[in-house]
Amino acid sequence: MFSISHNLVSTMVTGTLMFCFFLFHVGLSTDINKRILLSDPNYVHQLEVKLEELTSKVESVTSANQQLTSKVDSVTSANQQLHAKIDIVTNTNQQLTNENQELTKKIDNVTNENHQLNAKVDNINNANQQLNTKLDQVTTKLNGLPTGESGGVYTRWGRKSCPNNADLVYQGYTGGSWYDYSGAAADHLCMPKDPQYEPDALIGSFYGNVYGTEYEDVFFGHVSNSDDVPCAVCRSTVGSNVLMIPGRNTCYQGWYHEYNGYLAAGPYGYKGATEYVCLDHDPESLSHGNEDRDGALLYYVTSMCGSLACPPYVNEKTLSCVVCSK
């Protein structure tokens, strides 16, 4: 743009000079036509004056052209500097555009990862909700269970009822093998009061037998010798594990007391094997049986020193027992 302006100025100056020479030529032609002598000093002086004026104008125009050319050069230089700055700004803008594109890609990657994480969190939340739902269902079922549904079961020997912290499953008669049979079974059974027989049940006495059980010692509380022994099957409402501890009448720490009493078993002098049971400390008897018919017999049990350490045990002293739950 500035190069075109410079050419325009040069053209204008040249045209001005040509116009001045044209006027000068016309003037000469006119004077010749009027037949004015060139030797006329006045005319020559006038020509010199006009020439000086013309020369002065040409110099003025030349000076103005030089100033204009200088300004055009300054503007051109400024324009070049501006173009350089524009190039710098353009390059900087391009770099910023490239960096912005890279940042946009990174943001897109982070956004995608965030979407994936959100999807995983949603899956975890859904799984957690399902687990919470199942937990609520299980909790509802557990809350709907009767008290002591998962409690431990034990037999309270010598009693017809259960302690306050246990539910009665059933009450019955204490049964066992004949005390003097060499093939007698060792354990005692709590036989229910409402037996049920199979349709094809057999009749005969040469099979294994279950007899009632009698107290054989008046030491057992308020019962009489040969009284029949009751029993009660109980389910604890405070513990799922049940333990009979011989030689103690209280439970160890952390265990709940169900009942306590006397350690009882059959006498050592007979052939029939027996087991040790915890007979309630306040035993009852069955109303239908107080005759001496024998069967399975219960005696109190004493501690015998020797292999059993004394102390802490005392020789021939009756042993206590306790049933505990946890």
> What does the alpha-carbon distance between residue 73 and residue 79 come to, in Å, rounded to a whole number?
9
> What does the alpha-carbon distance between residue 164 and residue 148 come to, in Å, rounded to a whole number?
12
List alpha helices for 34-144, DSSP H: 41-144
Find out whether 175 and 273 touch, Cβ atoms under 8 Å. Answer: no
- Please tell me the predicted confidence (pLDDT) of residue 265: 78
- The pLDDT of 226-238, averaged and rounded, is 84
Phi and psi at 304, nearest 5°, equal -120, 120
- For residue 3, what pLDDT band results from cuts at 50, 70 and 90? very low
Residue type, 263: L
Burial 255-285 (b: 16+ CB within 10 A, else e): bbebbbbbbbbbeeeeebbbebbbbbbebbb
Phi and psi at 305, nearest 5°, equal -70, 155
> What does the alpha-carbon distance between residue 58 and residue 235 come to, in Å, rounded to a whole number?
135
- For residue 290, what pLDDT band results from cuts at 50, 70 and 90? low
Residue 15 has pLDDT above 70, yes or no: no
- Please tell me the predicted confidence (pLDDT) of residue 257: 92
- For residue 297, what pLDDT band results from cuts at 50, 70 and 90? confident
pLDDT in tens, 131-175: 988 888 787 666 554 454 568 898 888 888 899 888 998 888 887
- Please tell me the predicted confidence (pLDDT) of residue 295: 59
320-325 and 242-246: which strand pairing? Answer: antiparallel
- Please tell me the predicted confidence (pLDDT) of residue 119: 92
Q: Which residue has the higher pLDDT, 63 or 305?
A: 63
Q: Is the dihedral of CA 271, 277, 283, 288 positive or negative?
A: negative
> What does the alpha-carbon distance between residue 253 and residue 262 come to, in Å, rounded to a whole number?
21
> What does the alpha-carbon distance between residue 123 and residue 126 come to, in Å, rounded to a whole number?
5
> What does the alpha-carbon distance between residue 325 and residue 258 come to, in Å, rounded to a whole number?
7
* Residues across the chain: 326
* Angle ∠(192,194,197) on CA atoms, nearest 5: 100
> What does the alpha-carbon distance between residue 236 and residue 241 come to, in Å, rounded to a whole number?
9
Helix axes 2-33, 41-144, angle to 10 degrees: 160
